[in-house]
Chains A and B, each alone.
Chain A
């Protein structure tokens, strides 16, 4: 058996690297590209057969099986391999996969025909594992894509509209996010339009006034330091903005998660200073690209394209890629307890200065006998991950759009818009077939919310789904006639849905590091910040994607893409 295994995995040459990365999620892929770009020898492995890890885009059946396999505790680790443990200087520490996903619910609602059709078409669906996620046109992510050269492998389309769910059955309204949108808005009163636009102008003046203080006039319009340090919600109160506008600014534009009016539940009061940055990001996004009608864009074929683009970039710069290659254990220095290398499932040992691990890997805290002499505190340190929170995610496949004339749109459900006890915003993103993620005539609708426990999160997502979609009729009760109101007729029917809870961990830096997990935000800003920080900790003297003379350089360097 050992013979056949060894033959199915050709050995990797060379065996020494500057950096080994396990998992091809977005942060890992960016780090691979960034490290390669500054001349580091990088090996990028992924136990999966696809790129992207937790940022992958998968077919319908792959998504289902992936979620299911990654929600169960991993099979017990194979018996510690004996080869080399006795005669080498390294302690072998086995890695365990601790699933990120739990509480998975997957349901089929369509008729038998529809279900079998969808199973047949499974490959035509490109479903994001970490949705809903999109990019602001003025996002730092766009700059990174351009700077790194990854942009050349990607195509985007604009999300047609940003919507907000109006409480008390108000339905969906456009977010009045620009001068033009305020002008066209049908829901705001004239007074509210005036107040909102004046607030936007105040923010603009505040942001723009710094440059030309000689011009005076504008100086009086600066927001005071005191206000900048106060919470955004109290600043809005001070500006005498009515609740409707406050809600739009807080949740649909600044994209806050927690109910800012409820000091008991709000874990995260955003300061005015930071909110202004978010507003600036949003407003500079509107109209940045002539083809994007709103603030958001989405990659064609799904978010999984992003890590792939960075991997291609890394490969161009000499990074070695091996997919379907699991790492079974770590090789640690027996004396210092420092990381030295990894042992692959093929049995090969590879060495590097640094290691970045997919966040789902953990080191069991139980000390195996072979590690009796291993520094205890070091193991303790490695086995601890800091749980930052949970995100409830939902995916629906529908037959029609939540807003008849739109294919793609984002939706925000502000706190208390679905039910009075709702303390978190829910964000949703509908992607239609023009982004090549689903067959024509179907739509994928993603939901997410930050939550404290699984039941609460799922309850909220289901309420959000039911507010826009026709409540799914159980397949079993298909024979029971259902009374349909006119209103239900226009609501999209759910063909398939999945709900799951994803844990969010905080990465820690050491010679071996856990990569950031997908967070509860709509964009990648926080993930990118964490990634860049990680890079500068690893390579303090190196630039994060230094400027190259010719960004168009192609595959002339010895880039290798190995898909064994």
Chain B
């Protein structure tokens, strides 16, 4: 079925084809007339069958048959004989159509539809499938249909799993069979079927099976795909969990003077928040969750005045997000000076927090921090040992078996790489080492493999330039994870900033510049950051940055941001005041290749202020097509300072536009607007 050469048509073939087309056109016009007039006679259906047997790709023709069948069934007054003969005829038509093209979506769908009526015998279906799967063992339509039939027939997953093993044994270059195996195993593992628990033992067996495929022929991709799935199964924690929060557990926040927050618990890093009268509380989970509200997250504090409102930090307005935020209002409270208020957050005690794939929140978690108000600013010298990362009560440790399995995998692939030079092997090793390093196990010596992983990605960028950007992203993530892993590793990147423009002492700036980063990561460790310098990198996206709810000052200059869309996450950071996006590539790319991922004013998830936009564009005579994007991004921001020079988009017209969009702006491109 694969790799058939395309032959040049001969003259007689062309003639035959045009005759065939003529015949088809005639059938089509008849059929459309019948469809239009709702004629469902036997003759009409026969004509339709002829059409479909010649061209099974036409969904309208299939839909007509469905209507006809429905009408027959209504007329038949459920006489079982008639019903059966009508449906059997449908199965026959589908079978003939599939003989013509067994990759026809419409035909397979019609067969499912007929069988779902429940009047037909399904025993024949497995035989039919056997024939199709013999013709092409990888045909995913047939595999898809097989899942449908086996569910209908209630064939146990265990049996189907054996079947995939047979097919794989015959020829392991079969994505469809491996894929079906992954589906069946997921089901069995999820319901902890007999012999499929604990999952580590089952997965170890699967690793052994797939090693045979990978080692026998490392050039064949099918095994690698399954292997990747297995690593994920071994490492991932199904249940959603809180991995980090701000304020973190055990943090002492000192509220200074009237308007300043000083958090000494931000470890040794003395930093100050410009107080807007609210204190953000950020919950950072290991995966996207929903159901965060006052019933699932219990906050206890004297300061609390009514329920907190939790919002998902999601750029696409879904109510499913990895990061959730709530604002504790303290500005309007009459708080007593020098009194310490304890705030306790409990979650996971009641059901309701659910991951997108349906798992309930795992262990109960508790975060406690203290808030104290002092009259005068004093430099805190209190130093805490340990990580900057939040301490959560329960960090679930994956079982030692998991770790052993990963260690074993690593040694297998080191072996393979000693034999042959293979890109996917290097990538897999890098992924395995990363997985091992991030295992929350007391025995895993975290981050010891960072250098090796970075070297592997460097090699891959050189060996496989086609996927350069992917490797670069992974490289960035590993690097960031190492930098943010501990206080010691982070310190060299922290600088005090005595900002002249703001009369606020002791800003700490995190400078991650010139690291050749192409994307951001490890943000769960950086929730405390108020000033971030990411200049002179190769960022194309700042995905995930929205979690940094304390950020007030962000330098993104000299990067590779290609559109305003890429700045989407910033819309969710209410505290952001100073933004430098100078010397990027905004406006240089006529086509935004990431567009399909991004929002547009026409999509329903956006609340786009059309009226305001129209007034604006009318008033300064600019093209709406060019400016809706920056309008969407900046309209809700309260920036006081923006640097945008060095982008193709930044011209005078744009300047006058942005000043109108951002009335709060005081400085534009180092020019004082006041």
Contact = CB atoms under 8 A, between A and B. Distances in A.
Interface of A: 179-180, 182-185, 190-191, 193-195, 197-198
A183 B172 contact: yes
B170 A180 contact: yes
6 contacts: A179-B172, A180-B171, A190-B212, A190-B415, A191-B415, A193-B212
Contacts of A184: 169, 212
A480 to B, nearest CB: 47
A244 B532 CA distance: 60
Interface of B: 169-172, 211-213, 215-218, 412, 415-416, 419-420
B216 A193 contact: yes
Given A183-B216, A184-B169, A191-B415, 19 more contacts: A179-B171, A180-B170, A180-B172, A182-B212, A183-B169, A183-B172, A183-B212, A183-B213, A184-B212, A190-B212, A190-B215, A190-B412, A190-B416, A191-B215, A193-B216, A194-B416, A194-B420, A197-B217, A198-B419
A197 B217 CA distance: 7
Contacts, number: 43
A165 to B, nearest CB: 23
B419 A191 contact: yes
A180 B212 CA distance: 10
Contacts of A195: 419
Nearest to A189: B215
B413 to A, nearest CB: 10
Contacts of A182: 212, 216
A194 B215 contact: yes
A242 to B, nearest CB: 12
A194 B217 CA distance: 7
A191 B214 CA distance: 11
B216 to A, nearest CB: 5
Nearest to B211: A190
Contacts of B218: 194
B642 to A, nearest CB: 52
Contacts of B213: 183
B335 to A, nearest CB: 66
Contact of A193 (B170, B171, B215): B215
Contacts of B171: 179-180
A246 to B, nearest CB: 16
A184 B218 CA distance: 15
B137 to A, nearest CB: 12
A559 to B, nearest CB: 42
Contacts of A183: 169, 172, 212-213, 216
Contacts of B211: 190
B431 to A, nearest CB: 19
Contacts of B169: 180, 183-184
A190 B217 CA distance: 11
A179 B217 contact: yes
Contacts of A197: 215-217
A194 B220 CA distance: 12
Contact of A198 (B170, B172, B420): B420
A183 B212 CA distance: 5
Residues of B contacting A: mostly: helix
A195 B172 CA distance: 18
Nearest to A197: B216
Most buried by A among B211, B213, B215: B215
Nearest to B218: A194
A183 B171 CA distance: 9
A194 B212 contact: no
5 closest pairs, A vs B, by CB?
Answer: A190-B215, A194-B215, A182-B216, A193-B215, A193-B216
B398 to A, nearest CB: 25
A292 B169 CA distance: 16
A197 B212 CA distance: 11
Nearest to B170: A180
Nearest to A185: B212
A91 to B, nearest CB: 67
Contacts of B215: 190-191, 193-194, 197
B378 to A, nearest CB: 64
Most buried by B among A180, A184, A191, A194: A194
Contacts of B170: 180
A184 B172 CA distance: 10
A185 B169 CA distance: 10
A198 B169 CA distance: 19
A183 B213 CA distance: 6
A185 B172 CA distance: 13
A197 B419 CA distance: 12
B529 to A, nearest CB: 46
Contacts of B416: 190-191, 194
Contacts of A194: 215-216, 218, 416, 419-420
B175 to A, nearest CB: 15
A183 B170 CA distance: 9
Contacts of A190: 211-212, 215, 412, 415-416
A236 to B, nearest CB: 16
B426 to A, nearest CB: 15
B352 to A, nearest CB: 47
B224 to A, nearest CB: 14
Contacts of A179: 171-172, 216-217
Most buried by A among B211, B216, B217, B412: B216
A305 to B, nearest CB: 31
Contacts of B412: 190
A469 to B, nearest CB: 30
Nearest to A186: B212
Contacts of A180: 169-172
A210 to B, nearest CB: 20
A195 B419 CA distance: 8
Contacts of A198: 419-420
A447 to B, nearest CB: 31
A193 B209 CA distance: 13
A221 to B, nearest CB: 13
Nearest to A190: B215
A193 to B, nearest CB: 5
A198 B216 CA distance: 8
A185 B211 CA distance: 12
A195 to B, nearest CB: 7
A194 B219 CA distance: 11
A468 to B, nearest CB: 26
A540 to B, nearest CB: 41
B489 to A, nearest CB: 37
Contacts of B172: 179-180, 183
B225 to A, nearest CB: 16
A556 B416 CA distance: 65
A191 B172 CA distance: 18
Nearest to A290: B134
Nearest to B214: A190
A185 B216 CA distance: 10
A221 B215 CA distance: 20
A197 B170 CA distance: 16
B219 to A, nearest CB: 8
A192 to B, nearest CB: 9
Contacts of B212: 182-185, 190, 193
B446 to A, nearest CB: 29
A283 B617 CA distance: 73
A475 B228 CA distance: 63
Nearest to B219: A201
Contacts of B415: 190-191
B177 to A, nearest CB: 13
A197 B216 CA distance: 6
A152 B171 CA distance: 32
A161 to B, nearest CB: 14
A179 B216 CA distance: 7
Most buried by B among A179, A183, A193, A198: A183
B425 to A, nearest CB: 10
B261 to A, nearest CB: 58
A219 B169 CA distance: 32
